[in-house]
Amino acid sequence: MTTQQLTQQIQKKKSFLCIGLDVDLNKIPQHLLQEEDPIFAFNKAIIDATHHLCVAYKPNTAFYEAYGLKGWKALEKTINYINKNHPEIFTIADAKRGDIGNTSSMYAKAFFEDLAFDSVTVAPYMGKDSVEPFLAFENKHTILLALTSNQGAFDFQTKMIDEKEVYKHVLETSKTWQNSENLMYVVGATKAEFLADIRQIIPNSFLLVPGVGAQGGNLQDVCKYGMNDHVGLLINSSRGIIYASNQDDFAQAAAKKAEALQQEMKVILK
């Protein structure tokens, strides 16, 4: 998918919401555990109830890997279900991968080819040759960790190199990499005040913004400082939406939470 198509979808749906599909079997309605594939059953119900309200789905691979083969199978079924039934929706493998060149190529193959995601999140620590193999895929997007939503972001990301924070070096350096037009960036909603500075460096890139909801980030602040001419934001909410209820009505409850965010976004987009 191109970023133009993503922007068109945002305008059409009046939404820049991304829903995180982080399925924890301890948190889903317990009647689903009787299903043959409880993880996929949960995701399918959430997708059926929310696809008109969001422009992206983001399964976090950790939650699937934790269930081994069963989990990986559920991930495969989930991405296939989205791609088949809602091909207009942008898909993000939240995998935070990154390794030496030949290994990153294998990860890129795994997520872009085998699982056919539109994008994957990647950690920058290993530098240029660990990220460029992902960037080589046409119409696929590499979402680089810049400033994350957690407290640990202050351990290294905000430390100063030559009077400039590490995450700004990541942003600036990444712009020089081959096929850098395929980059997007993770910036946590809990760090909204940093977004104005970030937009100075990468005015046009899409930002994936986690941390609204359970982690305490604020949608209005993120938009105030982070939105650009073509919106340029994907606001993720995971737990705040998908675990709105653990009863029979879980999918409807999730849709209500998603709609509340979408309605806020609709007003902002005016």
Residue 14 a catalytic site member:
no
- Measure Cα distances from 150 to 87, 154, 163, 194, 264 in Å: 32, 8, 23, 14, 24
Each residue 95-114 as x (binds its own copies by CB under 8 A) or -, in order, gives: -xxxxxx-xx-xx-xxx--x
Q: For its own copies, which is the closer residue by CB, 156 or 220?
A: 156
Catalytic annotation, pick one of 14, 27, 96, 224: 96
Each residue 211-240 as x (binds its own copies by CB under 8 A) or -, in order, gives: ----x-------------------------
Pull the structure tokens for residue 202.
């990468």
Stretch that binds its own copies, among 48-56, 89-97, 217-225, 257-265 (CB under 8 A): 89-97
Q: Which of 74, 91, 76, 68 is nearest to 32 (CA)?
A: 74
**Does 66 engage in binding with its own copies (CB under 8 A)?**
yes
**Does 33 engage in binding with its own copies (CB under 8 A)?**
no
Stretch that binds its own copies, among 28-36, 51-59, 72-80, 195-203 (CB under 8 A): 72-80
| Least distance to its own copies, CB of residue 261, Å | 20
**3-class secondary structure for the chain?**
CCHHHHHHHHHHHCCCEEEEECCCCCCCCHHHHHCCCHHHHHHHHHHHHHCCCCCEEEEEHHHHHCCHHHHHHHHHHHHHHHHHHCCCCEEEEEEEECCCHHHHHHHHHHHHHHCCCCEEEECCCCCHHHHHHHHCCCCCEEEEEEECCCCCHHHHCCCEECCEEHHHHHHHHHCCCCCHHHEEEEECHHHHHHHHHHHHHCCCCCEEECCECCCCECHHHHHHHHCECCECEEEEECHHHHCCCCCCCHHHHHHHHHHHHHHHHHHHHC
User: Which position has the token pair 């191109």?
Assistant: 2
Task: Pick out residues in 147-166 that bind its own copies (CB under 8 A).
Answer: 148-157, 159-162, 166
Stretch that binds its own copies, among 45-53, 121-129, 253-261, 262-270 (CB under 8 A): 121-129
Q: For its own copies, which is the closer residue by CB, 72 or 81?
A: 72
Q: For its own copies, which is the closer residue by CB, 70 or 224?
A: 70
**Does 123 engage in binding with its own copies (CB under 8 A)?**
yes
| Least distance to its own copies, CB of residue 101, Å | 7
| Least distance to its own copies, CB of residue 71, Å | 8
Q: How many residues bind its own copies (CB under 8 A)?
A: 59
Q: What is the binding site for its own copies (CB under 8 A)?
A: 22, 24, 60, 62-63, 65-69, 71-73, 76, 94, 96-101, 103-104, 106-107, 109-111, 114-115, 123-131, 145, 148-157, 159-162, 166, 169-170, 173, 215
Question: Which residues are tagged catalytic?
Answer: 96
